[in-house]
Structure 1
Amino acid sequence: MSDLLWQKAGVETNAKIMKFLAGDDVLLDREFFLHDIVASKAHVEGLANIGVVSAKESEDLRRELEVLAEDFRAGRFVLDESYEDGHSAIEARLTERLGDAGRRVHTGRSRNDQILVATRLWLKEKLGLLETHCRAIADVCLQRAAQPALPLPGYTHLQRAVVSSTAMWFAGFAEGFVDNAWRARQTAAWIDTNPLGTAAGYGVNLPLDRAHTTQALGFGRMQVSPIYAQLSRGKFEMAAMEALSSAMLDARRLAWDLSLFTTAEFNFVTLPAEYTTGSSIMPNKRNPDVVELLRASYATVAAARCEIEQLLSLPSGYQRDLQFSKGSLFHGVTHGLAALELLPDLLARMQWNEASMRAAIEPAMYATDVAIEQAAAGVPFREAYRAAAQAAQAAGEGRTPESSLAARTSPGSGNDLQLDTLRQRLENLSA
C-alpha cells in the first residue's frame, strides 16, 4: 500500500488491521474515481481563484488530472490495493508527477467531502439513467397499449374477476413508469447540491470559492452547512434507492404477471426465446429465468437500501461506519438499473396468446356489468348486486369481451384509456 495520508511518525501499522479498515473500499472507488477526478479539477480551479495555487500550478494539476482520467479509462492506471483509496491515489499520482504542486491539491478539503461530492455526482448520473430506463419502459407500454386490444381476464385475489384487456394492462404499467421517471427526476433535483468545500464537516479557515465549484460541477445549488453535508450522507443515497425501489416494485409486479401468464395453466404469453433458458435435466422445459430474476431483483435493491439505513444510527459528524454504504449503494443501484434496462425489449417482443385469453373469460365475469347496468336503470345497487350474484353464470348471455370493454367508459378503463393523457405526461419529461 502507498504511503498513508494520515500516517504519523513513530506509529506502526498492522497489516491485519489495515486489511480490515480498507476492505474492498479501493476497489469500489473505481466506480467513483472519474467523478473524484472531475471534482478535483474544480477544487484546483477554486484554489487558484483564491491564490492558494498559482495559475501555472493550476494548469499543470488540471492537465495531469485529465491524463490520469485518460489513463484510468484506457487501463494504463489501475486503482488497486496498492492504494488505500481512490482519493489517496489521486494525490499520490499528482505528487509523483508534479512534486509540491501535487501535495497542495488537498488544501482545504477532506476525504470526507471528496467522497461526498464524487458520490453525489455519481448519484445524479445514475438517477438520470433511471429516468431514461423508466421513460423507455413507459414508451413501449404506451405503444403496445395503442395496438388493437385483446380480451384479457382481470384478476383480484388471483381469482377471475372482470373482463380486462391487453391495452389496459399495458396502460397501467405505462402510467406507473411515467410516475417512476418523474420521481427519478425529482429525486435528482433534490440531491443536486454541492458538498465540496465542507471539508471534514466543519469548514476550513480559507475563503474557498464554493460558488465556482458549484457551477463548474453542474450542481443546482450549494450545500451550505458543513454539518448538514455530513448529515446528508446516507440520507441522499437512501432517497436515490427509494426512487429506484419505486420502479423495481412495478417491475416486480409486472414480472409476477408474466411468470403466471407464461405457465401452461395460463398460457397467455409467449416470451422471446432468448429470455428463457433450458433445464439441465428435463429436455421439455423452457424456463422464464429472466422474468423470475427480474421479480427477485427488487430484493437486492431493498436490501441495499436497508443496509444503508441500518448504518445511519449515528451522531452528527463523520463516522467511519459510512464507508460500508458505498458497497450497498453500488451493488443495489447497478443491479436495479441492469434489470430495468432489459424491460423495454422484453415488453416490445412478448406475444399474447389470444385463444387462451378468450377461453379463460367465463360468463360470471360479466356479473359486475349486469349489476351496474341495473343500478344505472334505477335499481338500488345492493339489490342489483345480489340479483347479479344469484344469476352470475347467466350474466354472459348475449355478451362478448368486446361489448363489455366498449361499455366501460369510466376514465382510464376499457373504452377510455386516455393514452393521449399518458403520452403527454411522458413527453412533458422531455420539455
Structure 2
Amino acid sequence: MSRKIVGGRLEDDLDEIVEKFLSGKDIIYDAELIQFDIYGNIAHNLMLNKIGVISDKEIKEILMALKKIHEDWKSGKFTLLQELEDVHMNIEHAVTEQIGPEIGGKMHLARSRNDQILVDLRLYMRDEIISIQKLILGLVSVLIEKAEANIETLYIGYTHQQQAQPITFAHWCMAHVDTVFRDLERLAQTYQRVNVNPLGAGAIAGTSWPIDRQYTTELLGFDGLQENTLDVISSRGEFEAELVSNFTFIMTHLGRIVEDIIIGTTSEFGFITLSDSYATGSSIMPQKKNPDAAELIRAKVGVVNGNFLKILSILKGLPSGYSRDHQELKDALFSSIETVKLSIKVLTGLLSTMQLNIEKIENQVQDNFIIATELVDLLIKEYKIPFRTAYTIIGNLVKDFFKQNNKKPSEITPEILMNYVKTSSNQEILISSENIKKAIDPLETIKRRSHVGGPAPQEEQRMIQDRKKNLEGVKGKILQNERKVEETINNLMKIVEKKVSG
C-alpha cells in the first residue's frame, strides 16, 4: 500500500498482509458510510470556508467534487478501494483526483479521522434508529389488530410451561405491545444521546484553528454538541454499546414471542397455524411444516447478545483516546442492525398471516383445571372459607380427578364439592350448580378480572384504545425526527448547489 496520503515519517510501503489485516472487513462496512462521510466533508469544509481558511474559489471546487462523488454513489458508480484503507481516504483521494492536491489536500484541515469516523457513525446510527423504530411501529400495529380481533378469544396463560390460568389471545397480544413500547422508549433515549456533534474534537485535543463547531452542528442537524474533545474520542464504542444493548432487549422480546408461537404450532398443542409463506418443508419427511423463520429469530437473539458482549470486551481496558481496537466495533454494530431489522420484518409478516385454531384452544381450556383458582375464590367469597383451607380443598379435588381418568371440571357437581369441603374442613355448606358453572366457565372467569391491566374484555378494550393513542404519539415524534433529518440533508445539498452554481 502506498503511504502517499497518510505516510507521515514512514518510508516503506505497508506490507500487503498487514494492509489486508488492518482493513479486513472494515472497507465493506465503510461502504454503508459513504453518504454520511460526504455530508460530514461538506459540513466541515463549509465551516472552513466560513472562518476564512478555505477561499470561495477553493470551496466551490471541493463541493463540486463532493457533489460528483455523491451522484456517483447514488447511481452505484462510486466504490471503495481497499488499498485506500477506509471511506475517508477513498473520498479524499477521489476529490484530489478531480481537483488536484493543492486544493483537495486542504479538505482534511483542522480535523482527524478520529472525529471524522464518529460523525459518520452518529449520522448512520441516527438514520438506523429511526428505521428500526418505524419497523417496531409496524409490529405494534399488527399486534393491536390481532388483539382487537380476539377480545374474547380464549387462550391459555402458562407458568413453568404448565397450563396456569385462562386469558384471551388479546391479552397475550397486548402484553407484547407493552413490551415493545419499552423498546421504543429506550431507542428514543439512545437517539437523543447519539444525535450530538463530535466533529471538531480532532485526534484528541481539538485544533488551534478557530473552528466553529456550532455551525457544523446546525449544518448536520445534530441536537447538540459533545464538548470535551478527549471525551468525544474516548466515547467511541459507548454509543454503539448502548444501541446494541437496546437490540438485546428487542431481540429477547422477539424471541419470547416466537417461542410461544413455535410451541403453539406443534402437533401436541395445535393452537397456531403458520402461513406456508413463513414455513418450510423437510427434505425427507413430506408431512412436515417447520417454523424455520421463527426458529431463526430465536437463534439470532444469541447472535445479537454475542455482539453486545463483543463490544464490551473490546472496550474493556482501553486507555483514553483512540486505539485501532475501535475498528472491530463496526462488525458488531452493523451486523446487529441488519439482524434486528430483518427479524422485525419477518416476525411482523409471520404474525399478520398466522391463524388461531380456536376450537382446539377452547377444548384445551374447557378440559383442564386452569379454572382451579376461581374455584378457590368461590369458596372464599361465597362461603367465607379461609384461603389456605380453600386452596387445600380444591387441590385435593383436582388430584383425585386426575387419578380418575382425568375427569373434567364440567363433571364437578355440588355434592362432590360439598363433600370435599366437609372432608377437609368439617364445614357443611350448600353450593348451587349455578355458582359452580360460573366458576368453571373460562370466559366468565376472565370477565371477572376487570381490574386495571386484567384480561377482562372491557379492560382489554380500554388498554387497546390507550395503546393506540400512545402509538400515534410515539409515531409522531419518530416521523418528526425523520423529517428533520431529511430537511437537514436537503438543506445541506441546497447550500452545495448554491455554492457550486454561484
Q: Report if TM-score (shorter chain) is over 0.5.
A: yes
Q: What does 1:248-327 correspond to in 2, within 5 Å? A: 248-313=251-316, 314-327=318-331
* Whole-angstrom distance in 1 between the partners of 2:93 and 2:122: 23
Q: What does 1:50-89 correspond to in 2, within 5 Å? A: 50-89=51-90
- Which amino acid is 2:376 matched to? A
Which ranges of structure 2 fall in alignment gaps of 5 or more residues? 402-407, 413-436, 477-502
Give the superposition deviation at 1:3.
4.5
Residue aligned with 1:198, SS: coil
Give the superposition deviation at 1:9.
5.2
Query: Does the aligned pair in 2 maintain the 1:370–1:395 contact within 8 Å?
Result: no
Structure 2 counterpart of 1:115: 117
Query: Does the aligned pair in 2 maintain the 1:113–1:200 contact within 8 Å?
Result: yes
Query: Does the aligned pair in 2 maintain the 1:4–1:84 contact within 8 Å?
Result: no
- Which amino acid is 1:74 matched to? S
* Whole-angstrom distance in 2 between the partners of 1:379 and 1:227: 69
- Which amino acid is 2:50 matched to? N
In the alignment, structure 1 residue 381 sits paired with structure 2 residue 387: yes
Give the superposition deviation at 1:395.
5.2
- Count residues in correspondence: 431
Q: Which moved more, 1:387-396 or 1:100-109?
A: 387-396
In the alignment, structure 1 residue 106 sits paired with structure 2 residue 108: yes
> How has the CA–CA distance of structure 1 residues 5 and 166 changed in structure 2, closer, same or farther, with 3 Å as cutoff?
same
Which ranges of structure 1 fall in alignment gaps of 5 or more residues? none
Percent sequence identity over matched residues?
32
Structure 2 counterpart of 1:220: 223
Structure 1 counterpart of 2:465: 420
1:38-79 Cα shifts (integer Å, max 9, x gaps): 111110111111111112222222232122122122221211
In the alignment, structure 1 residue 166 sits paired with structure 2 residue 169: yes
Query: Does the aligned pair in 2 maintain the 1:127–1:188 contact within 8 Å?
Result: yes
Task: Spell out structure 1 runs of 4+ moving beyond 4 A.
Answer: 1-4, 393-397
Larger radius of gyration: 2
In the alignment, structure 1 residue 143 sits paired with structure 2 residue 145: yes
Between structures 1 and 2, the one with greater helix share: 2
In the alignment, structure 1 residue 346 sits paired with structure 2 residue 347: no
* Whole-angstrom distance in 2 between the partners of 1:80 and 1:360: 62
Q: Which moved more, 1:102-111 or 1:328-337?
A: 328-337
* Whole-angstrom distance in 1 between the partners of 2:53 and 2:137: 45
Residue aligned with 1:429, SS: helix
Which of 148, 152, 172 aligns to 2:155? It is: 152
Residue aligned with 2:157, SS: strand
- Which amino acid is 2:140 matched to? A
- Which amino acid is 2:374 matched to? D
In the alignment, structure 1 residue 365 sits paired with structure 2 residue 370: yes
Structure 2 counterpart of 1:192: 195
> How has the CA–CA distance of structure 1 residues 205 and 143 changed in structure 2, closer, same or farther, with 3 Å as cutoff?
same
Residue aligned with 2:300, SS: helix
Query: Does the aligned pair in 2 maintain the 1:27–1:80 contact within 8 Å?
Result: no
What TM-score do you get using the length of structure 2 for normalisation?
A: 0.83
In the alignment, structure 1 residue 202 sits paired with structure 2 residue 208: no
Query: Does the aligned pair in 2 maintain the 1:162–1:365 contact within 8 Å?
Result: yes
Give the superposition deviation at 1:4.
4.7
> How has the CA–CA distance of structure 1 residues 209 and 10 changed in structure 2, closer, same or farther, with 3 Å as cutoff?
same
- Which amino acid is 1:128 matched to? I
> How has the CA–CA distance of structure 1 residues 9 and 181 changed in structure 2, closer, same or farther, with 3 Å as cutoff?
closer
Q: Which moved more, 1:378-387 or 1:257-266?
A: 378-387
* Whole-angstrom distance in 2 between the partners of 1:157 and 1:20: 49
> How has the CA–CA distance of structure 1 residues 375 and 69 changed in structure 2, closer, same or farther, with 3 Å as cutoff?
farther
In the alignment, structure 1 residue 332 sits paired with structure 2 residue 373: no
- Which amino acid is 1:106 matched to? H
RMSD in angstroms over aligned alpha carbons?
1.6
What TM-score do you get using the length of structure 1 for normalisation?
A: 0.96
- Which amino acid is 2:348 matched to? P
Give the superposition deviation at 1:404.
1.6
Query: Does the aligned pair in 2 maintain the 1:42–1:213 contact within 8 Å?
Result: yes
